[in-house]
Amino acid sequence: MKIAVLGAGAMGSLFGARLSPLADVWLVDPWAAHIQAMQRDGLRLVKLNGTESVIPVQATTDPAAVGDQVDLAIIFVKSHQTASVARWAGPLLKPDGLVLTLQNGLGNLEAIASVLGPDCGVQGVTAHGATLMAPGRVRHAGQGETHIATRPSIVARLTDIAALFQQAGFETHLSDNLDSLLWGKLIINVAINALTATLRVPNGLLAEVEPARSLMAAAVDEAVRVAQARGITLPYDDPQEQAKSVAIATGPNRSSMLSDVSRGAPTEIDVINNAIVREGASLGIPTPVNQTLVWLIKAIEATYSVERNL
Ligand code: NAD
């Protein structure tokens, strides 16, 4: 199978590292220092047990270098880049090729469909986590299940893709309940990302420090009300307990939104907490805690250039 990983940051590098020994995989990313490091030295993957291995990978900043068309493009950029990367994917895809997003938040599949039409996009969610340590070096930060939403017309191709992921060590399941998958992950991101980014703390602190725990619970409560009003069945019984246990299980990890604000990069607030605010507004459900988190993160983004050593 030929695969292009579009966006080879933390998660693209993790999936690229695991899939490269099993398939014809290309990592495509505009970050030249990272691509050059992988071309020169291979991709260094720090595993969950702390050991490090070097994996030879095919990496490029130029989508045209991928050559023959691919069976699968996996999109792993941040959400504000999804539509522009879908434009890269178009010419790279075989006529029956698929574009899989395992990104967080609402709206990525719609962004892919707005560029490539409704037929080739596939939504998944993954509980794996990764952190970029340096150009060419990624740390596998956490593991869990990967779910891919299927439909009858593409089930055979997705079965092959799931088998390959499984072989690469990603426990993968096909599901026909896209909303449940997406909202199940969204509520965890609502709980953890914006709060860790505003407080500048690793995930576990949210469960340890009482006022942070209350804020997390309030943000989750609003999101669950919105999900319920939309008729979504979440993939777990107790969202509050789920959010707390994920924060504890991923305790030392830095969320991707914390990594974004630490390096002055745009965050995914619009597809996470702001998605709850938008959906809540359309359903008449108040979401003041999520609205406050959105304003805080947007204020942080708007003041990246301000000196912090006051
Ligand atoms: P990332 O920030 O690591 O990479 C995204 C883009 O930013 C890439 O193009 C990358 O090359 C570039 N980039 C990263 N660090 C850079 C630096 N120091 N200098 C210049 N460019 C840099 O993104 P990610 O964490 O892999 O997330 C990709 C998608 O996967 C997002 O939608 C995210 O929500 C989702 N996701 C992330 C995790 C996680 O643990 N990181 C887990 C599940 C889903």
- CA 169 from centroid of its chain's CA atoms: 18
Q: What are the catalytic residues? A: 185
Interval between CA 55 and ligand 1 midpoint (Å):
19
C-beta neighbour count of 212 within 10 angstroms: 18
Give helix 288-302 / helix 273-283 axis angle, nearest 10°: 140
Q: How far apart are CA 185 and CA 199, in angstroms?
A: 21
CA dihedral angle for residue 31, residue 34, residue 36, residue 39, rounded to 10 degrees: -120
* Predicted local distance difference test score (pLDDT) of residue 309: 66
pLDDT in tens, the chain (310 residues): 999 999 999 999 999 999 999 999 999 999 999 999 999 999 999 999 999 999 999 999 999 999 999 999 999 999 999 999 999 899 999 999 999 999 999 999 999 999 999 999 999 999 999 999 999 999 999 999 999 999 999 999 999 999 999 999 999 999 999 899 899 999 999 999 999 999 999 999 999 999 999 999 999 999 999 999 999 999 999 999 999 999 999 999 999 999 999 999 999 999 999 999 999 999 999 999 999 999 999 999 999 999 776 6
Nearest-atom number in ligand 1 for the CA of 189 is 34
By most ligand atoms within 8 Å of CB, the mutation choice from 80, 100, 256 for ligand 1 is: 256
Say if residue 214 is exposed, middle or buried (CB neighbours under 10 Å; 0-12, 13-18, 19+). Answer: exposed
* Predicted local distance difference test score (pLDDT) of residue 310: 64
Nearest-atom number in ligand 1 for the CA of 34 is 11
Q: Do 157 and 171 meet the contact criterion of CB atoms below 8 Å apart?
A: no
Q: How far apart are CA 154 and CA 98, in angstroms?
A: 9
96-121 as b/e: b if 16+ CB within 10 A: ebbbbbbbbbbbbbebbbebbeeebb
Rg over alpha carbons for the chain, rounded to the nearest Å, is 19
Interval between CA 200 and ligand 1 midpoint (Å):
18
Q: Whose CA is nearest to atom 19 of ligand 1?
A: 31
Give the H/E segment covering residue 179: helix 178-199
First and final CA of the chain: distance in angstroms? 53
Q: Whose CA is nearest to atom 42 of ligand 1?
A: 129
Interval between CA 179 and ligand 1 midpoint (Å):
23
By most ligand atoms within 8 Å of CB, the mutation choice from 6, 14, 31 for ligand 1 is: 31
Pocket of ligand 1 (CB under 6 A): 7-12, 29, 31, 34, 76-79, 103-104, 126, 129-130, 132, 141, 256, 263, 268
* Predicted local distance difference test score (pLDDT) of residue 169: 97
Interval between CA 250 and ligand 1 midpoint (Å):
17
Q: Do 260 and 267 meet the contact criterion of CB atoms below 8 Å apart?
A: yes
pLDDT digits (tens, 9 = 90+) for 250-260: 999 999 999 99
* Predicted local distance difference test score (pLDDT) of residue 84: 95
Structure token pair of residue 118? 């409704």
Full-model pTM: 0.95
pLDDT digits (tens, 9 = 90+) for 21-44: 999 999 999 999 999 999 999 999
Q: Whose CA is nearest to atom 1 of ligand 1?
A: 9
Sole residue written with tokens 């988190």:
293
Q: Whose CA is nearest to atom 39 of ligand 1?
A: 129
Q: How far apart are CA 89 and CA 97, in angstroms?
A: 10
Give helix 178-199 / helix 210-229 axis angle, nearest 10°: 150
Task: Domains for the chain: give ranges and CATH numbers.
Answer: 2-175 (3.40.50.720), 179-308 (1.10.1040.10)
Q: Do 170 and 164 meet the contact criterion of CB atoms below 8 Å apart?
A: no
Interval between CA 89 and ligand 1 midpoint (Å):
18
Helix residue ranges per DSSP H, the chain: 10-19, 32-41, 82-92, 108-116, 155-167, 178-199, 205-208, 210-229, 239-249, 256-262, 273-283, 288-302
Interval between CA 244 and ligand 1 midpoint (Å):
24
Q: How far apart are CA 188 and CA 247, in angstroms?
A: 9
Q: Whose CA is nearest to atom 40 of ligand 1?
A: 129
- Contacting residues for 227 by C-beta, under 8 A, at least 6 apart: 183, 187, 234
